[in-house]
Amino acid sequence: MPSLFEPTLFEPEWDLAQITSIAKLEEKVKNCNLCGLRSGCRGVVFGEGNPAAKLVLCGEGPGADEDLQGRPFVGRAGQLLDKILAACNFDRFKDVYILNVVKCRPPGNRIPTEAEIKACRVILEAQLRLLQPKIIVLLGATALQVLIAPQGRITRDRGVWVEKNWGGNNIFIMPTYHPAALLRNPALKKDTWTDFKQVVKKYRELINPQHYSPYD
């Protein structure tokens, strides 16, 4: 699968290049049926946060709680993510925008297939084009493999900045563990916090020099 930052060929009916706002994109995507996931879930989980924020968090896909509420990261993993964001003094509705690689819940919370990721890719690219983030935090292996390298391994590649130029904009990308992995293995919390402290430092450097975090 090519990098997100390489040119992509769109199907004519899903050439989203003319959409100029996140709200208009969400309206269109709510009716998406590009893959089979839509028929097995309650609805599309588009994303949430401040469209003007320059910090984006990208996970894998919605789970059961997310599908039920139509919002990303609201289950146990999302509650842990909220605690991490609070420790960084980031408000999920003001300082970040949260989204996933795929917008519909895979059955049983399985990893999305390559075909499902490819179908949702045009939406992810359109989101990032409109959001124009300066920093992206990748939560877990799927986001790492889609946005950086198909053969990426989160245990090997986490904690290291990757700089990409996309559409003339430099974006700093930080891979780290998905919060669900921390619930399964709490020992990973230490490394994840180390990664988020780097995010806070980069946020001060690129976005808000006055940003205060009591724990970093």
In this predicted model, what pLDDT tens digit does every residue of 3-15 receive, in sequence order?
554 544 344 456 7
What domains, with CATH codes, occur in the chain?
20-205 (3.40.470.10)
More confident residue, 3 or 96: 96
Q: Give the C-alpha separation, 191 to 93, whole Å.
A: 25
Show the tokens assigned to 97. 């925008």
Q: Say what the pLDDT of residue 5 is.
A: 47
More confident residue, 169 or 201: 201
Q: What is the pLDDT of residues 147-174, one digit of tens each?
A: 999 999 999 999 999 999 887 789 999 9
Q: Say what the pLDDT of residue 106 is.
A: 93
Cβ-in-10-Å burial (0-12, 13-18, 19+) of 98 comes to buried
Q: Say what the pLDDT of residue 13 is.
A: 54
For residues 173-185, one letter each, b for 16 or more C-beta atoms within 10 angstroms of the residue's C-beta and e for the rest, the string is bbbbbbbbbbeee
Share of the chain above pLDDT 70, in %: 94
More confident residue, 31 or 46: 46
Q: Give the C-alpha separation, 22 to 56, whole Å.
A: 13
As a whole number of Å, the end-to-end CA separation of the chain is: 36
Q: Say what the pLDDT of residue 39 is.
A: 86
Q: What is the pLDDT of residues 173-198, one digit of tens each?
A: 999 999 999 999 999 999 999 999 99
| Segment among 46-50, 109-113, 140-144, 171-175 with least mean pLDDT | 109-113
Q: Is the pLDDT of residue 17 over 90?
A: no
Q: Give the C-alpha separation, 68 to 41, whole Å.
A: 9
Strands 55-59 and 135-139 come out as parallel
Residue 133: CB partners within 8 Å, gap ≥ 6? 53, 54, 55, 56, 97, 171
Q: Give the C-alpha separation, 142 to 61, whole Å.
A: 9
CB 107 within 8 A of CB 35: no
Q: Say what the pLDDT of residue 185 is.
A: 98
Q: Give the C-alpha separation, 173 to 161, whole Å.
A: 6
Q: Say what the pLDDT of residue 134 is.
A: 97
**Cβ atoms within 10 A of the Cβ of 206, count?**
16
Residue-averaged pLDDT of the chain: 92
pLDDT (mean) for 83-112: 96
Residue 140: CB partners within 8 Å, gap ≥ 6? 59, 60, 154, 177, 178, 180, 181
